[in-house]
Amino acid sequence: MLYYIIRRIFMMVPTLLVISFLTFFIIELPAGDYISNQIAALKSTGEQSSVAKLEFLRKEFSLDRPFFERYLIWIGLWQGPHGFDGLIQGNWGWSFEFDKPVDQVVGPTLPLTIVLNFATILFVYVVSFPIGIYSATRQYSWGDYGFTFIGYIGLATPNFLLALILLYLFNQWFGLSVGGLMAPEYIDQPWSFDKAMSVLAHLIVPTIVIGTSGTAAMIRRLRANLLDELHKQYVTTGRAKGLKENQLLIKYPLRMAINPFIADIGNLIPSMVSGSVIVSVVMSLPTVGPILLSALQSQDQFLSGFILLFVAVLTLIGMLISDLLLAVLDPRIRLGGRASS
Amino acid sequence: MSMDTRDGGPAREVEHYVDPTPFNPAVTEEMTEEQEQFYQASQWQIMWWKFKRHKIAVWSGVVLILFYLCVPFAEVIAPYGPNTRDSLHLFAPPQSVHLFNEGEFVGPFVYGMTSQIDMETLQWVFTEDTENVQPIRFFCRGASYEFWGLFDADFHLFCPAEGGTLFLIGTDRLGRDQFSGLVYGARLSLTVGLVGVTISIVLGLFFGGIAGYFGGFLDSIIQRMIEIIRSMPELPLWMALSAALPVTWSPVWIYFGLTIILGLLDWPGLARAVRSKLLSLREEEYAKAAVLMGAKPKRVITRHLLPGFTSHIIASATLSIPAMILGETALSFLNLGLRRPAISWGVLLNEAQNISVVTVYPWLMAPVAPIIIVVLAFNFLGDGLRDAADPYK
């Protein structure tokens, strides 16, 4: 098991490298950079005094170097103006827009981003598991049809629209502001029990909104898998030998069906992280989402680059966890190396 | 078989009997007409029969065709131009269509609106004027437009009464008719998925084909690539890529840029499907026979293997169209995709970004409805196609 974990973690290193390179490539795609754009703007207004300072800044952030050198400096594998000082050394870069180091800009939002995504995954598991089993064991019942229908709607409604609709309805029915992280009266207040409850209450709606489509997909998945298993002969054998229905279900077909269910969470995580970004923008939650949007719009490259990398790492870690869970559950993977399904 | 007796004698003989109908030795293998039809039908015919049995999928197809009619005929269907401003009706609420006025049948009509400004909230307040009956005209001449940018015309399916207004789902902050906006927006919103999917199919076929047919080193490289792309959250990447589109580009270029971005991140799913199908199909005997007869890889793939899973590709492509439509909507909603004067459902939704505006003018959320309907319909259609894709099952 330990061997598997170590191997799995080592496999992440090349992936991370490729992802960091892609990220850097993408954020460098727009013509120019933040500072040279400012220089151009200043030059057009005829102001010369600040240009020298900006030129100095360009050197300082090694924006005048060639592309590959800049990339290596960014991740900390090449000597920049201050020696090896990149992501690996813990320097996340400088945000031009906020005029602060990136870690100070995104720092406060990172815990909430992680909590929100974790809560969503938990929500998806907790909700889809019983419903999936119910739908499979009572196929073609009214409950099954009902859940299938709701699931389809959930799949079809984009989460940011759902957020918009829910915001509107809550506002209309309860006069409640569900946007933001807490009720307005708690902002700038010291932490208290009431404030924590307010934060929790505000987390519920985004969690549901982000998790809905994932839940719908997982229910369909589990239902289909379980139905396949339930029609197999060993189930009939078990029944013929007098096993109780519940015991039979939990002991055999469920254990088979749960495997892809967990493997699939790896596929779902990227879409949930995506969802959390846009839902945060709509509901003005202080996660990395809104910061990413503004950073992209103002071409604040180190900030947007770091956030892109951060969400990618978040999904990688989520996939790692799902793989490890799978290995715990399935000895074939732990020992053999690859899942058969 | 009847047995006749010649006389009442005790020693009766059984008469030699021959059945005159011709004997068909293959009688046990003979098929009913239905079966015969089934076995003689082409693959596509059987798929169609199977698809037809999936009622929801068929109806979804019909709904989609109706929606797609807006693409070529937007100008005719919309009563107003997409960017026509009516400065007298800013944020006008939807006018509901009535049939009876004071118990008298007049046909479909709307009541005119009188507007007043509320000096306290500084908002326009519209009230229905039940005296002012404005019958809707059908097949009429209304606002002029340039049809497909080719020639001037002014024919509409329906228009407001002379001097009246017809805002079926209200107007936005500049007094632009929302319904017309939706009809014109369908043009970009609905085609973005088709173009994007085409790009994704081409890429998916190319990479999946190489990986599946040649296997080995190329396969593992492409597999790795697919894994990495799939492990990245789509939306932040879309956002970053579309933020990289130059602001100076014209809407048409932005539109194509967007479709390429959407297609670029979507192909891994298709490539995977193509690869696994190819891997199993190339072991089939007919594929081996083709190779032995000296066919080149290109010919084997395109002539012998591709037809075997075209239906699967179509089905899975259908299922990835809604994701692209939603992607475009999300990007335009966030101001990173299309912008006015280009109109898509996402651009229209942009007006609804501010929740305090939406609570006062809820009809700004109208584009949500067609988006959900279209996405649902594509999902059902895709499900039906997928079930029909393997007709011999």
3-state secondary structure chain B: CCCCCCCCCCCCCCCCCCCCCCCCCCHHHCCCHHHHHHHHCCHHHHHHHHHHHCHHHHHHHHHHHHHHCHHHHHHHHCCCCCCCCCCCCCCCCCCCCEEEECCEEEEEEEEEEEEEEECCCCEEEEEEEEEEEEECEEEEEEEEEEECCCEEEEEEEEECCCCCCCCCCCECCCCCEHHHHHHHHHHHHHHHHHHHHHHHHHHHHHHHHHHHHHCHHHHHHHHHHHHHHHCCCHHHHHHHHHHCCCCCCCHHHHHHHHHHHHHHHHHHHHHHHHHHHHHHHCCCHHHHHHHHCCCCHHHHHHHHHHHHHHHHHHHHHHHHHHHHHHHHHHHHHCCCCCCCCCCCHHHHHHHHCCHHHHHHCHHHHCCHHHHHHHHHHHHHHHHHHHHHHCCCC
Find chain B residues with C-beta within 8 A of A158's C-beta: 326, 329-330, 371, 375
pLDDT at B1 over 50: no
pLDDT tens, residue by residue, B369-380? 899 899 889 888
Find chain B residues with C-beta within 8 A of A117's C-beta: none
Residue B334 CA to residue B151 CA, distance in Å, equals 35
Find chain A residues with C-beta within 8 A of B376's C-beta: 152-153, 156
State the Cα torsion A246-A247-A249-A254 to the nearest 10°: 130
Find chain B residues with C-beta within 8 A of A274's C-beta: 233-236
The region that residue B389 occupies, defined by phi over 0 for left and psi between -120 and 50 for alpha, beta otherwise, is: alpha
Topology of domain B180-389 in CATH is MetI-like fold (1.10.3720)
* A156 vs B246, B330, B375: nearest CB: B375
**Model confidence, pTM:** 0.81
Q: How far is B16 from chain A (nearest CA, A)?
A: 55
Regions of chain A with pLDDT less than 50 = 338-341
Q: Nearest to residue B329, comparing CAs of A157, A299, A108?
A: A157
Q: Which amino acid is at B213?
A: Y
Contact B239 A167 (CB under 8 A): no
* B326 vs A158, A172, A304: nearest CB: A158
What is the average pLDDT across B202-224?
A: 85
pLDDT at residue A48, as a whole number: 67
Residue A258 CA to residue A339 CA, distance in Å, equals 13
- Token pair in block for residue B94: 């939807």
Q: How far is B321 from chain A (nearest CA, A)?
A: 12
Contact B236 A307 (CB under 8 A): yes
Find chain B residues with C-beta within 8 A of A275's C-beta: 235
pLDDT tens, residue by residue, B61-87? 999 999 998 888 888 888 888 788 877
pLDDT at residue A339, as a whole number: 42
Which has the higher per-residue pLDDT, B269 or B28?
B269
pLDDT tens, residue by residue, A196-239? 777 777 788 888 888 888 888 888 888 888 888 888 888 889 88
pLDDT at residue B59, as a whole number: 92
pLDDT at residue B92, as a whole number: 79
Contact A156 B322 (CB under 8 A): yes
pLDDT at B117 over 80: no
* B359 vs A160, A161, A171: nearest CB: A171
pLDDT at residue A340, as a whole number: 40
Q: Which residues of B touch A (CB under 8 A)?
A: 227-228, 230-237, 239-241, 243-244, 246, 322, 326, 329-330, 333-336, 349, 352-353, 355, 358-359, 362, 365, 368, 371-372, 375-376, 379-380
Domains with residue ranges and CATH for chain A:
114-285 (1.10.3720.10)
Q: ipTM exceeding 0.85?
A: no
Indicate the average pLDDT of chain B: 81
- Token pair in block for residue B312: 């699967």
Q: Nearest to residue A198, comparing CAs of A187, A209, A211?
A: A187
- Token pair in block for residue B149: 């940018």
pLDDT at B6 over 70: no
Could you tell me which chain B residue has the CA closest to the CA of A166? B355
Could you tell me which chain B residue has the CA closest to the CA of A320? B231
pLDDT at residue B2, as a whole number: 46
Find chain A residues with C-beta within 8 A of B254's C-beta: none
Contact B243 A299 (CB under 8 A): yes
pLDDT category at B317 given cuts 50, 70, 90 is: confident
Contact B359 A172 (CB under 8 A): yes
pLDDT at residue B105, as a whole number: 79
What is the average pLDDT across B32-41?
A: 75
Domain boundaries, chain B: 95-166, 180-389
Could you tell me which chain B residue has the CA closest to the CA of A163? B355
Q: How far is B236 from chain A (nearest CA, A)?
A: 6
**Whether the Cβ atoms of residue A81 and residue A60 lie closer than 8 Å to each other:** yes
